[in-house]
A and B are shown apart, each in its own frame.
Chain A
Amino acid sequence: MRQTLAAALLLSTVSAPALSQTIYPIDRAQILTGAMFDLKVEFPGLAEPGKISVTVNGQDHAQALGRAATYVAREDDKDQSAVTLRDVVIDKPGRYVVKATDGVNTREVAWDVYETAQPRKARNVILFIGDGMSNAHRVAARILARGIQEGKYKGKLTLDDMPAMALVSTSGVDSVITDSANSASAYTTGHKSSTNALGVYADRTKSTTDDPKVETITSLAQRRLNMAVGVVTNTEIEDATPASMVAHTRRRAEYDVIVQQFLDQKPDVIMGGGAANFIPKSTAGSKRGDDQDYVERFKDAGYAVATTAGEMKAASAAGAKKLLGLFNLGNMDGVLDRKFLKVGSVKRYPEQPDLTEQVKSAIEVLSKNDNGFVLMVESGLIDKFTHALDMERAIYDTIMLDNAVKVAKDFADQKNDTLILVLADHTHPVGIVGVMHDDMDGPAPNVELRDRLGIYAEAGYPSYPAPDAEGYPNKVDVKDRLALFSASFPDYYETYRPKMDGPNNPTVAGKEKGTYAANEIYAKSPGAQLRPGNLPKDGNSDVHSAEDSLLNAYGPGSEMVKGSMDNTDVFKVMAHALALGTAK
């Protein structure tokens, strides 16, 4: 036994120095012809310039790619050398084998450079992302918004009723579980990335702005086809999903950097919350680190600025060519709070637009461009509410997403020249397990709440009132409610009831730094039950899961959507529909 162990140890020490170069873009990267990217080779130790060789299909890289890479002897003052070549473009499709050696170790990766066929199939592309939207959210939204009787739905969601469908896998370079940064980045760049990173391959250096970049669909559509671009969300506009349209950063939390990158890239429509990072730090409510006023800067760059639904509609109706809509200092409120419960920050910001209205105004502005447009629309609070185990709010925001898709589909049906994609960036481990039978207006429960959960035959059907014209039941605290649980949770009090007084806040900071504890406020809810978490103690909410996202597609170019796809293939679908790789 001991000998075997020793042998294994010896083997592992022997194999350790064979640790070799890291090459970005990674092995098996698929690269659009004409799209820019940075090539970087990280050597495991010190590498002498005379011994370094980086070849592309057997040819020295300087000849093959037109310029020589820059050499850095010691990155971050450590014994680690690297070479980087920025803004590489490859115009000829084919297989490219990149081989890097420092004289001792050699490593090679292969890239597939692909072109897109003419003629262009779609004039416009609208990419809808339900952040964290999982199958359970969609089914719950269908039950509430369309109704179900004797096992048959009384109608389909708009996103159900699309001809093309696929399963999309979402893992990133560094982990089987993605976050919203690298998962959205895969859609907007066609390249995999790592947790918290946007528009870059995450390299080993400390700097968050020097990582090898890849080009976004925003830049490609603007640069190659002179198209208009829009980014619409109900989260902070700097949040990972909307930021993925413009950002190149290792760290998604750097909101001030991302605001600057929005200004540099100048999408024609920018709408969401997150005004706090646009206003100078001396202004109450600001979260900037400096005294720059980016609202003024965007105005100087020709943007109309709207802070209410009314101002937004007036600006788009008046023919604004560029529109910045900021409707909340932080995330906008969810639709359940805005339209029905009037809690959260709705009293402070009573005139926040609905996502459907944002999409209408965005299309109104963008469709003026004769070269077409690319629009990303995110219903982003589905994710945030699910993290917070606030399932009713997540379901209502899924219905809102579907309504926004309907607005886009009605627009697309006028000319049949718009590709619509609807999908999630990643999933949550959520499931509908039954129906709670619990009269919330009655006295405190004399039967334990968990025994009021109907399962199998006892589940029956929920008793939400018939939906209104937009698909929303006007009462969520009904007697018979869908029971939707996450399989991942921190310590929290399960109240089995919707949170009528404001979004759920299941945890508070724990006694030990970096840990979390159940929020004792919910201990007072009648029948609340403490659930010890199944996540690490430094987790304060439900987490993402590795299951595939569902993708529904409609319009020209949607025929590529089928079967099982990788998340980087979603970029390819858009690139092919627009013929982004053959334009000049």
Chain B
Amino acid sequence: MRSHSEPRSNPPKLRLSRRRALLALAAGLASGGVRTAAAAPAVLDFADLYEASGVLGLKFSPKLLSLKGASVAMQGYMAPPLKAESDFFVLTREPVSLCPFCSSDADWPTDIVVIHLRRAAQPTRYSDPIAVTGVLEVGSATDAATGFVSQIRLMNADFRIV
């Protein structure tokens, strides 16, 4: 049930530039008036996270590593959080649907990003694309509360529905 479908409607180039524009807009709105004056967060795509190959482990891309500690903006989908109001959720490239009988229950996509929100929030509809901004953290870390292992995180983050 892993999936990478996208709608066929828009030509890819047009869609990308529109996504970037939306992301920049979302980043500006989410971070409030003070930070709008500062440099806009760097836009990071899911495709940018890892280098091309790596069956025995993924390698972080140079772009990802260069943005460590910087404010970045990403677009993706919220995976269902552990509890309703949460300050912690997983951002995925495509909406997820975990299937108990067709694969393991650890069937997360490999390229996920863990979002630690500034404030706890209600989940969105899981098919709504969301724009997230936060401070990029890279490297293996285990969440103390849940034991969830992550490689890429956005800290002190805000999100909005696109």
Contact = CB atoms under 8 A, between A and B. Distances in A.
Interface in A383-399: 383-384, 387-388
A208 to B, nearest CB: 13
A307 B103 contact: no
Contacts of A114: none
A253 B99 CA distance: 11
A516 B151 CA distance: 28
Interface in A273-310: 275-276, 278-279, 281-287, 295, 307-308
A347 interface: yes
B28 interface: no
Contacts of B53: 348-349
Contact of A524 (B7, B57, B107): B7
A508 B127 contact: yes
A284 B5 contact: no
A522 B8 CA distance: 9
Interface string B125-162: 11110000000000010000000010100000000000
B57 A508 contact: no
Interface in A328-361: 328-331, 343-345, 347-349
B8 A326 contact: no
B63 interface: no
Nearest to A295: B56
Contacts of B58: 283-285, 329
Contact of A349 (B55, B95, B106): B55
Interface string B45-86: 000001011111111100000000000000001011000000
Contacts of B3: 388, 502-505
Contacts of A152: none
B13 to A, nearest CB: 15
B50 A344 contact: no
B149 A286 contact: yes
B7 A525 contact: yes
Given A278-B56, A508-B97, A509-B97, A502 B5 contact: yes
Interface in A500-527: 500-511, 513, 516-517, 519-522, 524-525
Interface in A247-292: 252-253, 255, 275-276, 278-279, 281-287
A102 to B, nearest CB: 36
Residues of B in contact with A, size category: 35 or more
A346 to B, nearest CB: 10
Contacts of B96: 508-509
Nearest to A526: B9
A521 B9 CA distance: 10
Given A285-B58, A508-B126, A521 B7 contact: yes
A384 B103 contact: yes
Interface residues of A, number: 63
Contacts of A329: 54-55, 58, 110
Contacts of B101: 179, 543-544
Contacts of B121: none
B143 to A, nearest CB: 13
Nearest to A131: B102
- Residue of A326, A347, A388 most packed against chain B (CB within 10 A): A388
A342 to B, nearest CB: 11
Given A284-B60, A326-B56, A383 B102 contact: yes
Nearest to B140: A282
B104 interface: yes
Interface of A is mostly: loop
Contacts of A43: none
Contact of A511 (B104, B107, B125): B125
Nearest to B106: A287
Contacts of A503: 2-5
A519 B104 contact: no
A236 B103 contact: yes
A286 B57 CA distance: 7
A223 B124 CA distance: 55
A255 B104 contact: yes
A327 B55 CA distance: 6
B159 to A, nearest CB: 17
Nearest to A255: B104
A308 B109 CA distance: 21
A499 interface: yes
A517 B127 contact: yes
Contacts of A308: 55
A134 interface: no
Interface string B19-34: 0000000000000000
B99 A541 contact: yes
A238 interface: yes
A155 B149 CA distance: 52
A399 B108 CA distance: 28
Contacts of A344: 2, 4
Nearest to A329: B110
A540 interface: yes
A502 B4 CA distance: 5
A135 to B, nearest CB: 20
Contacts of A520: 125, 127-128
A239 interface: yes
A347 B103 contact: no
Contacts of A238: 104
Nearest 10 Cβ contacts at the A-B interface: A505-B3, A502-B4, A508-B95, A283-B57, A307-B55, A285-B58, A520-B127, A282-B140, A284-B58, A509-B80
Interface of B: 1-9, 50, 52-60, 77, 79-80, 94-99, 101-110, 125-128, 140, 149, 151
21 contacts: A252-B104, A253-B106, A255-B104, A282-B149, A283-B140, A284-B57, A284-B60, A284-B140, A330-B110, A344-B2, A384-B102, A384-B103, A387-B102, A503-B5, A509-B95, A509-B126, A513-B80, A520-B128, A524-B7, A541-B97, A541-B99
Given A285-B54, A285-B110, A326-B56, 6 more contacts: A295-B56, A308-B55, A345-B2, A508-B126, A516-B97, A540-B97
